[in-house]
Structure 1
Amino acid sequence: MILSWAVTLPLMIWMFLEMVLGLHMMSHLVMELAMVAGASYVIFRPGRETLLSAARSARVWIPNMDVLIALGTLASLLTGLAALGYELGLLQSPFYSFAGIAAMIMAFHLTGRYVETKARGRASEAITRLLTLEAATATLIVNGIEKSVPADELRKGDVMIIRTGETVPADGVVVDGKGSLDEAMITGEPMPVTRTVGDPVVGGTINREGFLRVKVTVTGEDTFLSRVIRLVEEAQGSKVPIQDVADKVTAVFVPVILLLSLATFLAWLLLPALLNPLLDFAEGFIPWIVTDLNPVGQAFFAALAVLVIACPCALGLATPTALMVGSGLGAENGILIRRGEAIQRLQEATVLVFDKTGTLTQGKPEVAEWVQIDGEEAEIKTLVGSLEKQSEHPVSLAITEFVKAELTEDVRDFETYTGMGVCGMVGDRRIVAGNLDLMDHFSIPAEGEAGRKAAEMLQKGYTTIFIASDGRISAVAGLTDQIKDGTAEMIQRVKMMGYRTIMLTGDQEKSARLIADQIGIEQVIAGVKPDQKSEVITGLQKRGEVVVMIGDGVNDAPALSAADVGIAMGTGTDIAIEAGSVILVDGHPNGLVRALNLSRETFRKIRQNLFWAFFYNVVMIPVAVIGWMHPVLAEAAMAFSSVNVVGNSRRLSHKKLD
């Protein structure tokens, strides 16, 4: 770019002195030689990549925007050669030279590309900021002695020391101490979070207060920060559906402009008497209007302006630059966009479908009530505790924690019944623990006192679990799960934004309905098994709904994949996260509001960019056709339109999403 202007600027000054001020420093032959030589250097040296790009696209019959610049500059250079041939006596007819203009067009084009590249680099600065979060060194305890090592040499199992003000070098778990960690760049939440023994910590967060010893659990590309950077890069390289429209327009735009430029040349060449009055009219208020060209020169002037002003660079930049900034802004606010199309589909959504456990609630149910129906309570608790210990399901963990059984019994033939419960042989007794569907599956009657107690628990909003021993119900447990802070406010906000809300859960109707009423969800679909959740999503889509599914568990993965947009809670299972197209890092309910706002703001920028790109071409092309646009100004305007689109996208980075 600098080389192009080093040659072009002196040519521009020379043209200004000759044509505007009438100062003739050298003969016309010397001037033409200088213009042709200078333009040739600018076109074939700094502009070489543009020519090669044009040649590659033309070779496969898919002309790109560089074809327009290449044709315009090369054709202009040819006019200079023709004028030079006349000066040397090789041609009989004089020809107006556009060689100097060719150099200016290429210089403006390269300048526009340079500014565009720099702006796009700043648009992706979110990744740069994420990279700067990584600590350069780590302090380890080796044989009781502190040792500083490069962070990239950390290994799983190393114990790090993190003092006040230091950055956590790698993901790990606290083994000693207590600290207040700033996780704002990871979750978007401004308030520090207290971490103590047993709590996980994320590399890149800052210990604002306290002292921690952290055991490294993950290093290298598997760390949370590395995965975030990878996801952001993937999202920035993906496409949204509306970009297909721009791509299709761009694909046909170049051939159409080539034909329009040819038509403009022929019109001015064959119908000068009809078109020249337009120049005479504009000459009084447009300073760059040229009226003294011969018909061929004037035809070439107008055709060249059409060729360079119609370059659809801005159309090609409209969507990817906004998506780049939007995905980076999302990462800074704890929202990871895994698939670019989610940005568009989110703002088109009509209904939000929520899983209950772990999404709207804490996902850590507790046994709130236990009623013994038959047998010794201590014995039944030991038996069911031994059985439930075999499962990692939240309900199993809650019962195991409640009964605090000494696991003295062997468990055989353990089986899990998805969405219903578990069973197995504990010692010499067959224990079944689960909901009413599981009791029906094993033909265990849940009537009498057990049925009455279960009904009372349901009225309180508890999830009821029957415990049966050898075919008879021995106890009934009522479990409750605390609603996440901020859930009711989040539901209220999304409803004000125009979304319909549905709770989709495998829990019992009454307990699900009670929670839904507390937080303001309109519709409850309860008692749904995991393999049925995706069928519910598909059914909503068949009725014309654009569905967003929000979940966190393994059983939500099929529904997350089936939905138009799957939003996974970052605190959930890896399977759910992989199935989601959007991830809310900290799992806080307010993250959904931020994600919806991010979608709306990003897509608004995309629409604005596409509008201005189309508007620019629609307005400027007719002006060029009638000869009112100078080719150099046309190229400058084209470069400005690209920079304007990138700049408009960058303004998105300053938006507040809460």
Structure 2
Amino acid sequence: MSLQTPSSPLYEGTLAIEGMTCASCVARVEKALKKVEGIDEASVNLATESAHVRSHTPIDYAQLIQSVEKAGFDVATESFEFNIEGMTCASCVARVEKAIQKIPEVISAQVNLATEKASIQAISSIDKKQIIQAIEKAGYSIAVQDIELNIEGMTCASCVARVEKALNAVEGVTRANVNLATEKAFVQAPASKTEDLIAAVKKAGYNAQVVQADQQSSHAKKKQQEQDVLKRDLIIALVLAVPVFILEMGSHMIPAFHHFIAHSIGTQNSWYIQFVLTTLVLIFPGRRFYQHGLPALLRLAPDMNSLVAVGTLAAFGFSCVATFASQLLPQGTVHVYFEAAAVIVALILLGRFMEAKAKGKTSQAIQYLVGMQPKTARVERNGQTIDLPISDVQTGMIIEIRPGERCPVDGEVISGNSYIDEAMISGEPIPVAKQIGDQVVGGTINQNGHLKIKATAVGQDSVLAQIIHMVEQAQGSKLPIQALVDKVTLWFVPVVMSLAVITFLVWYFVGPEPSLTYALVNAVAVLIIACPCAMGLATPTSIMVGTGRGAELGVLFRKGEALQQLKNTHVVAVDKTGTLTEGKPKLTNFEVVDGFDKDRVFQILASVESKSEHPIAYAIVEAAKDLNLDLLDVEHFDSVTGAGIQALVNGQQIYIGADHLMHKLGLETSIFSELAEQMGNEGKTPLYISIDQQLAAIVAVADPIKDTTYSAIQALHDLGLKVAMITGDNRHTATAIAKQLKIDHVIAEVMPEQKVQSVQELQNAHGIVCFVGDGINDAPALAQADVGMAIGTGTDVAIEAADVVLMSGNLQMVPTAISLSTATMNNIRQNLFWAFVYNAALIPVAAGVLYPFFGILLSPMFAAGAMALSSVFVVSNALRLKGFKGPEFEES
């Protein structure tokens, strides 16, 4: 073994050894470790089942593991994955693998370009930060994921700011949003940082835990328990505080009552009673303020609890001195304020209880969606039907749904017919017919038929789970308007405490006698009145109620920022096919020349078109199926280049095509000229049918405009918005449809990739653009627009490119979403105005600025009541959004 010189670098490492049972095992492991070249020292601990090695050369862990295994023991290893961003080719893969494998503790590393993942096996004691640093040093980055945390202990906006600051300080965090209303934090960070995030929150003085997939109902129960505890403490506080208030304030307001107290129990005894009752209020129901507020103050990070704690303790402490050591106070200042301390606690608890009840209503939309999920499913197994817990249902299972029951999971109908009420996902009140092959969504209600479905999506993959996740994400998001609030609230409480000190000093040195009394009362009033609860609740409560109401209407905000952007939209650009129109061509016109049998001609037409793959042919054949027509045998089917098709049916020569094919055949089409012109104006292309060299009929197929499109466009115009249509269809058809719908701007004959350029042109010309598409081929345009709005089908909700998802194909949801955005933003502005103006106006009043002019002072008790009222007002104002109805649409 080589000797280590003092100048040699020292390498140390720890391994977890498995399989050791006695001292001889320890000896064997030590011997095995020391055999590895370079190891200077090896010590093995049986109690901790670990080995510590030292070396003068870099440690070769692979050799150590091999040596330990050869001795008959195992080294504990760990396998984990990282999502890697920035890799584009095989050389990137090689560089990342090389960077990871350079870390001594890594046993193996495999990087997959297709999945963009690194699968790593390493000894269990490895510090994952080494891997992250190695990957970043190689020029790549670890993909972050959304981590959701429940935060406990937050009471006001300054708490939010502190938790956010603590989370953002954790290495690897790219974004952290903390929501006071939902008491959650939404963090973007590597998954490996979860424990660090929880530790950072605890260090800031709060508690955090990761939100689990099934925690929604337990969270609701927990909030109900907290509400019950608040109610209990409020009742105790009121029972104890009311006698204190009567004894003290009754004596001040009613002279006869003052004399009664003085001559019956005595003033000093009255103070003793008030002391006992107030002490009980502070120790029991008021304890929460001191448990949280005083430690926060010691950390130099005061919050709302700190304001209440300092204010009530100041009033209580002064009163105790006046009661038990009055000789220490200047003459004329011996007064007690037990009633202020007791009543402040009672009033703030009253405010918190009312706020908790109101906040519970803000999350009713989520609770309603969670309640949509049935608890069990009726599953077929081995020829028998059994009830299974919904958590045990797996894809592929056959599930029976009886009339009136909710569909337990997403699935495909394999037996039966029925109507399904899908209002919960689409906002549409009319039930949808379902037959074999159709999709059903978990949580929707089976109306009148008996169905069997094959489960296609369960758990977190279901549509309902995706909707809940989207709504929660939107509710937890932070709008740009919140930036100002965040900056103010971080410094608000320290500033208020400074103002309270200044108030005390000014009144003590400049105020009238008894100056100490005035100084104390006004300083306490400043502390109590200035709580920034209302500021912290102003934005998140409105977002919660607004996005929740949107979900009920079938409008899902995937990104909260869309709420603010939609209100400022100038132009709504819409895709044509599937958005303005049904997306499926239908037969719209069919007229025959006198002397021809209409049914016979249509049978021949459908028979020939059944051989064609054209969308027009599909529409004609579908119409024939609806009429239950039998198709005839077709011979010698062929296309006429650029003009139409030809075939033989029962020996008759059939041609189908545009007017120029008929003219080429020497047939005159003027008999249909008026009808053909009308079709052209409606954006339809007329086709003609000839049978044995005779013009027989005219037919038109079109993608019909949805019935709801007309009123939707009108509603957008009523909102003062311009409407543009972007389509790949020919200009003539597009212009005809735009004329019918009164669309302002038409961009036609564009390929999907050119839609992005079209959106950019509209942005340059008009400003903020909302693009509405079907979310599939419109993804680039949805991403380019300021707000991308995807019209879903009720089942495809996870459209990554869109900011807003409309659960139904009804374009009326677009003006509804914009109106909801406007209503929510107006509500937020009302809340912020109230919160800021309230504090700006009442802090000076509490400090006593009106006293020299009007003799008005604000009692700490009234300050507590006003503070509680402020928060309740903000939450109640947000709850008005639950009644949002959106624009009214005229019947088409």
TM-score bracket, shorter-length normalisation: 0.7 to 0.9
Tell me which structure has the larger Cα radius of gyration. 2
Instruction: Identify the residue that residue 772 of structure 2 maps to in structure 1.
Output: 550
SS in structure 1 at match of 2:492:
helix
Equivalent in 744, 751, 757 of residue 535 of structure 1: 757
**Whole-Å separation in 2 of the counterparts to 1:77 and 1:314:** 26
Equivalent in 614, 621, 627 of residue 843 of structure 2: 621
Q: Give the CA deviation at 1:138.
A: 2.5
Structure 1, residues 188-232: CA drift from partner, whole Å, max 9, x if none? Answer: 222222222222111111122222222221111211111111111
Task: Give the aligned residue type for 1:243.
Answer: Q
Q: Give the CA deviation at 1:28.
A: 5.3
Instruction: Identify the residue that residue 300 of structure 1 maps to in structure 2.
Output: 520
1:59-78 equivalence runs, <5 A? 63-78=302-317
Task: Give the aligned residue type for 1:501.
Answer: V
Structure 1, residues 298-330: CA drift from partner, whole Å, max 9, x if none? Answer: 122122212211222112211111111111111
Instruction: Identify the residue that residue 646 of structure 1 maps to in structure 2.
Output: 875
Residues 112/463 of structure 1: CA separation in 2 closer, same or farther (3 Å cut): farther
**Whole-Å separation in 1 of the counterparts to 2:385 and 2:476:** 43
SS in structure 1 at match of 2:743:
coil
Instruction: Identify the residue that residue 247 of structure 1 maps to in structure 2.
Output: 486
Q: Give the CA deviation at 1:179.
A: 1.1
**Whole-Å separation in 1 of the counterparts to 2:737 and 2:299:** 61
Of stretches 307-316 and 153-162 in structure 1, the one that deviates more from structure 2 is: 153-162
Instruction: Identify the residue that residue 529 of structure 2 maps to in structure 1.
Output: 309
**Whole-Å separation in 2 of the counterparts to 1:460 and 1:85:** 94
1:560 and 1:576 in contact (8 A); partners too: no
1:459-470 equivalence runs, <5 A? 461=683
Equivalent in 578, 584, 587 of residue 358 of structure 1: 578
Instruction: Identify the residue that residue 634 of structure 1 maps to in structure 2.
Output: 863
Task: Give the aligned residue type for 2:800.
Answer: E
1:65-144 equivalence runs, <5 A? 65-87=304-326, 95-144=334-383
Residues 309/233 of structure 1: CA separation in 2 closer, same or farther (3 Å cut): same
Structure 1, residues 630-654: CA drift from partner, whole Å, max 9, x if none? Answer: 1011101110121121112112212
Structure 1, residues 73-132: CA drift from partner, whole Å, max 9, x if none? Answer: 222233124324524x56676543334312221222122112211210112111111122
Q: Give the CA deviation at 1:60.
A: 6.1
Q: Give the CA deviation at 1:550.
A: 0.8
Task: Give the aligned residue type for 1:560.
Answer: L
2:794 and 2:807 in contact (8 A); partners too: no
Equivalent in 420, 423, 434 of residue 184 of structure 1: 423
Structure 1, residues 473-526: CA drift from partner, whole Å, max 9, x if none? Answer: xxxxx9842222211111011111101111122333222222222222110122
Instruction: Identify the residue that residue 740 of structure 2 maps to in structure 1.
Output: 518
Structure 1, residues 223-281: CA drift from partner, whole Å, max 9, x if none? Answer: 111111111111111122222233333334333333333333233223335xxxxxxxx
Instruction: Identify the residue that residue 85 of structure 2 maps to in structure 1.
Output: none
SS in structure 1 at match of 2:817:
helix
2:797 and 2:807 in contact (8 A); partners too: no
Task: Give the aligned residue type for 2:875.
Answer: V
Structure 1, residues 452-493: CA drift from partner, whole Å, max 9, x if none? Answer: 99xx999884699xxxxxxxxxxxxx9842222211111011
Equivalent in 482, 495, 503 of residue 717 of structure 2: 495
**Whole-Å separation in 2 of the counterparts to 1:183 and 1:116:** 34
2:507 and 2:519 in contact (8 A); partners too: yes
SS in structure 1 at match of 2:385:
strand
Instruction: Identify the residue that residue 4 of structure 1 maps to in structure 2.
Output: 237
Residues 653/169 of structure 1: CA separation in 2 closer, same or farther (3 Å cut): same
**Whole-Å separation in 2 of the counterparts to 1:336 and 1:239:** 16
Instruction: Identify the residue that residue 564 of structure 1 maps to in structure 2.
Output: 786
SS in structure 1 at match of 2:579:
coil
**Whole-Å separation in 1 of the counterparts to 2:501 and 2:616:** 77
2:374 and 2:408 in contact (8 A); partners too: yes
SS in structure 2 at match of 1:246:
helix
Residues 91/302 of structure 1: CA separation in 2 closer, same or farther (3 Å cut): closer
Residues 53/201 of structure 1: CA separation in 2 closer, same or farther (3 Å cut): same
Of stretches 307-316 and 261-270 in structure 1, the one that deviates more from structure 2 is: 261-270
1:554 and 1:573 in contact (8 A); partners too: no
2:525 and 2:860 in contact (8 A); partners too: yes
**Whole-Å separation in 2 of the counterparts to 1:108 and 1:185:** 40
1:551 and 1:576 in contact (8 A); partners too: no
SS in structure 1 at match of 2:378:
strand
1:356 and 1:504 in contact (8 A); partners too: yes
Structure having the larger proportion of residues in helix = 1
Residues 43/510 of structure 1: CA separation in 2 closer, same or farther (3 Å cut): farther
1:553 and 1:573 in contact (8 A); partners too: no
Residues 570/56 of structure 1: CA separation in 2 closer, same or farther (3 Å cut): farther
Instruction: Identify the residue that residue 483 of structure 1 maps to in structure 2.
Output: 705
1:35 and 1:80 in contact (8 A); partners too: no
SS in structure 2 at match of 1:175:
strand
| Corresponding position: 1:51 with 2:310 | no
Instruction: Identify the residue that residue 464 of structure 2 maps to in structure 1.
Output: 225
Identity of aligned residues (%): 41
Residues 115/97 of structure 1: CA separation in 2 closer, same or farther (3 Å cut): same
**Whole-Å separation in 2 of the counterparts to 1:635 and 1:580:** 45
Q: Give the CA deviation at 1:403.
A: 9.8
1:365 and 1:480 in contact (8 A); partners too: yes
Name the count of aligned residue pairs: 565
Residues 544/256 of structure 1: CA separation in 2 closer, same or farther (3 Å cut): farther
Q: Give the CA deviation at 1:157.
A: 2.0
| Corresponding position: 1:506 with 2:728 | yes
**Whole-Å separation in 1 of the counterparts to 2:436 and 2:765:** 50
**Whole-Å separation in 2 of the counterparts to 1:227 and 1:153:** 19
What TM-score, normalized to structure 1?
0.77
2:463 and 2:796 in contact (8 A); partners too: no
Q: Flag structure 2 segments of 5+ consecutive residues without an equivalent.
A: 1-232, 590-607, 623-640, 643-659, 665-676, 687-699, 849-855
1:364 and 1:398 in contact (8 A); partners too: no
What TM-score, normalized to structure 2?
0.58
SS in structure 1 at match of 2:714:
helix
Instruction: Identify the residue that residue 440 of structure 1 maps to in structure 2.
Output: none
Instruction: Identify the residue that residue 885 of structure 2 maps to in structure 1.
Output: 656
Q: Flag structure 1 segments of 5+ consecutive residues without an equivalent.
A: 274-292, 370-379, 386-395, 405-431, 434-448, 465-477
Task: Give the aligned residue type for 2:565.
Answer: R
**Whole-Å separation in 1 of the counterparts to 2:243 and 2:794:** 64
Residues 339/50 of structure 1: CA separation in 2 closer, same or farther (3 Å cut): farther
Root mean square deviation, CA, Å: 3.7
Instruction: Identify the residue that residue 209 of structure 1 maps to in structure 2.
Output: 448
Residues 397/55 of structure 1: CA separation in 2 closer, same or farther (3 Å cut): farther
**Whole-Å separation in 2 of the counterparts to 1:30 and 1:100:** 15
SS in structure 2 at match of 1:587:
coil
Of stretches 209-218 and 326-335 in structure 1, the one that deviates more from structure 2 is: 209-218
